[in-house]
């Protein structure tokens, strides 16, 4: 029986895949000394690597990090923002969406965030989707050929969540059938996700 496992995230620079969807955000973080204020709001889709990027940035620059900011007390964010300016120590605030999509009740915090730069990670393009599939499979000890990636790409949703679900399905099918990942096995995984019709997976 295939058991669901939670796979740990690594914390090295090389574990974050640089692509056109993330290049502008990474470039902004690399030049934090030029920010108009010592804080930035980073947004992006779930599973986009935004938290990993934040942890790497914090570790390299002794920065303060507030992840899932919508779930934090506004006063705590307010005080962290003020501390960042006083100490000239960068603060990275990670959220699903920037204000005003993320409503702020505390006026002083709202005004400060309005003056704070905003960067975003985008949805994956083909190159990033292929690299993500290969990386996520590799983290689970699963290897596959380029023909499998080429088969999967046009049938995979262009979101980080969709790619993670695809890899989960590939892992489950490969483990349950004790097979390496081939195009027929990838077809079965897509059927498991409901992306293609089950009849296309029959031998």
Phi, psi of 125 (to 5 degrees): -85, -175
**How wide is the angle at C-alpha 90 spanned by C-alphas 87 and 92, nearest 5°?**
140
- Kindly provide the residue ranges of all beta strands, DSSP E only, lying in 46-88, ordered along the sequence: 64-66
Buried b (16+ CB within 10 A) or exposed e, 33-44: eebeebbbbbbb
Specify the DSSP element, H or E, that contains 85: helix 74-87
For residue 53, the Cα-to-chain-centroid distance in whole angstroms is 8
CATH code 3.20.20.140 for 13-120: no
Domain extents for the chain? 13-120, 126-201
Cis peptide before 100 (omega within 30 of 0): yes
Six token digits for residue 7? 């796979």
The closest of 19, 29, 81, 20 to 55, measured between CA atoms, is 29
One digit per residue, the tens of pLDDT, for the chain of length 203 reads 333 334 344 455 557 888 888 889 999 999 999 999 999 999 998 888 899 999 999 999 999 999 999 999 999 999 999 999 999 999 999 999 998 888 999 999 999 999 999 999 988 988 889 999 998 998 888 888 899 999 999 998 889 899 999 999 999 998 887 888 999 999 999 998 888 765 544 44
Biggest CA–CA distance in the chain, Å, is: 66
What is the Cα gyration radius of the chain? 20
Six token digits for residue 48? 């986009």
| The model's pTM | 0.78
- The predicted pLDDT at position 11 comes to 56
**What number does CATH give the domain 126-201?**
1.10.8
- Interatomic CA distance for residues 28 and 50, integer angstroms: 14
Computed from CA positions of residues 124, 127, 128, 129, in that sequence, does the dihedral angle turn out positive or negative?
positive
């Amino acid at each position: 029986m295939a058991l669901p496992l939670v796979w740990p995230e690594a914390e090295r620079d090389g574990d974050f895949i640089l692509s056109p969807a993330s290049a502008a955000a990474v470039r902004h973080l690399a030049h934090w000394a030029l920010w108009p204020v010592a804080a930035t709001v980073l947004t992006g889709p779930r599973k986009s690597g935004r938290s990993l990027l934040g942890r790497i940035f914090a570790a390299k620059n002794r920065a303060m990090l507030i992840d899932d900011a919508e779930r934090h007390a506004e006063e705590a964010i307010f005080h962290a923002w003020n501390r960042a300016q006083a100490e000239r120590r960068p603060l990275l605030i990670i959220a699903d969406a920037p204000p005003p999509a993320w409503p702020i009740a505390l006026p002083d915090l709202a005004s400060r965030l309005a003056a704070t730069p905003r960067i975003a990670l985008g949805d994956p393009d083909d190159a990033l989707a292929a690299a993500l599939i290969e990386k996520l499979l590799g983290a689970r000890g699963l290897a596959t050929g380029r023909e499998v990636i080429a088969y999967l790409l046009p049938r995979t949703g262009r979101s980080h969540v969709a790619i993670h679900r695809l890899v989960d399905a590939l892992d489950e099918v490969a483990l349950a059938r004790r097979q390496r990942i081939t195009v027929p096995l990838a077809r079965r995984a897509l059927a498991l996700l409901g992306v293609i019709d089950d009849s296309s997976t029959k031998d």
